[in-house]
């Protein structure tokens, strides 16, 4: 198990790597190098769910459109309610 300092250093390295990306192509390259295809699909699905929740779509529609379970939709909604502003940034809005 990592100690807290190492964990924080790893997170700082990850955040710096993400912050250095300038294009969608850069993001794709990094994510394909560090994530499994399933992890990328999961992240993409959660962003799609968040977008539809922001559009005030109902769970049944979101599940049908994205293939996400209602449990996943609920988790995304909760994370949006407790957001640090990341979803707003991802969608080109300011918090």
- CATH number where 86 lies: 1.10.1270.10
Length of the chain: 95
Task: Mark 53-79 as b/e (b = at least 16 C-beta within 10 Å).
Answer: beeebebeebbeebebeeebbeebeee
pLDDT digits (tens, 9 = 90+) for 33-85: 999 999 999 999 999 999 999 999 999 999 999 999 999 999 999 999 998 99
In a domain, 13, yes or no: no
In a domain, 10, yes or no: no
Query: What backbone phi and psi angles, to 5 degrees, belong to 21?
Result: -75, 140
95 has pLDDT over 70: no
In a domain, 47, yes or no: yes
- 1 or 12, greater pLDDT: 12
Using CA atoms, how far apart are residues 25 and 36, in angstroms rounded to an integer? 17
The predicted structure's pLDDT at residue 2: 66
In a domain, 3, yes or no: no
4 has pLDDT over 90: no
Q: Which domain holds residue 65?
A: 22-90
């Amino acid at each position: 198990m990592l100690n807290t300092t190492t964990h924080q250093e790893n997170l700082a390295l990850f955040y710096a790597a993400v912050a250095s990306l300038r294009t969608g192509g850069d993001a794709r390259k990094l994510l394909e190098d560090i994530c499994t295809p399933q992890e990328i699909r999961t992240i993409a699905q959660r962003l799609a769910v968040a977008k539809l929740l922001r559009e005030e779509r109902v769970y049944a529609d979101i599940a049908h459109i994205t293939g996400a379970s209602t449990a996943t939709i609920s988790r995304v909604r909760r994370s949006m309610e407790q957001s640090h502003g990341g979803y707003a940034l991802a969608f080109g809005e300011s918090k």
